[in-house]
Amino acid sequence: MNINKLAFSSALILGSLSWQLNAATTWNVSLWGKPRAFTEHVEKLATLVEQKSKGDFTLKLSYGGLSKNKENLDGISIGAFEMAQFCAGYHRDKNPSITVMELPFLGVTSLEEEAKISMALYKHPAVIKDLQRWNATLLMPSPLPQYNIIGVGDAPASVSDFAGMRIRATGGIGKALASIKAVPTSVTATEVRTALDSGVVSAVAFAPHAHMAFGTTAAAKWWTANLNPGTVNCPVVVNTDALMALSAANKEILLGSVDESIAHYISSYQGKTMDKWGPLLEEKKIKKISFSDAELAEFKKIAAVPIRNEWIATMNAKGLPAQDLYDLVSSMIGK
């Protein structure tokens, strides 16, 4: 009887080990909000990874169920989940190297250019070292068009009318708006509509998809069609230990699916997202405001060079090769 029990127990152990050795790999992915243009590349990546691995590798996407958006990098650092999306402006001190992409008036003109430059920046040794403090490896960007502002109340007739206006804006966009005496306020995307309705802010700086996704168009009275002060950098990162623990085949599948995922994202954003934007502004009777070339040139003069110089000095003090990072980015613009 004891022999039979021993044999049975051994069979269970061997069976369990065999199952563990052959078990599929599942990664948890921390996002926020809901599926939208901003997450199209992560959704596509999940589809490609599962298809190419024939179900051996799965990305389980969670929209807000794993972490708050401002805490995603912290979650990655402790291995609470294997992949996450975050925006550099949410915690500039945690990822100072990539905030170079958030400097105002850089001159990036397309999503393709934004993606290409971001990917090059993510491979810079100083950037790799910066994010490695959080046990994070940058996987791909979430390229976004120039931000513009939606607001309630009286529409600004000139750039100077932004003085004193409380505007939800982060990163370099916030600094640019502060340079014209606006009051930038850091509110997470998921809290923006409440802040707008309650009067905490009277305007919101977002890319078009976010204005639609987070409901600012339902309350808005006006929209700046050509302010274009800059954009934000929102990478997708993976836990470095989890990446290293992947099988060679699954690691190749993951990394080999990035370009296709970004291409899908850009095509989707330029197509169905922007196709909805213009008609929505008309439907909601949101007034489009355009500023003169002279005003925009003055805004750029006030904001671009001083904020860039301040960023370089600050990053140098942190021990980063700030000029090198800026030169890498600026040298690729328009190429």
- Put simply, whether the predicted model's pTM sits higher than 0.95 gets the answer no
Could you check whether 23-143+232-273 and 148-231+281-332 share the same CATH topology? yes
Per-residue pLDDT of the chain (335 residues; tens, 9 = 90+): 444 444 444 444 444 444 445 579 999 999 999 999 999 999 999 999 999 999 999 999 999 999 999 999 999 999 999 999 999 988 999 999 999 999 999 999 999 999 999 999 999 999 999 999 999 999 999 999 999 999 999 999 999 999 999 999 988 999 999 999 999 998 888 899 999 999 999 999 999 999 999 999 999 999 999 999 999 999 999 999 999 999 999 999 999 999 999 999 999 999 999 999 999 999 999 999 999 999 999 999 999 999 999 999 999 999 999 999 999 999 999 87
What is 23-143+232-273's CATH topology? D-Maltodextrin-Binding Protein; domain 2 (3.40.190)
Top CATH class, 148-231+281-332: alpha beta
- Euclidean distance between CA atoms 161 and 177, whole angstroms: 11
Domain residues of the chain, as ranges? Answer: 23-143+232-273, 148-231+281-332
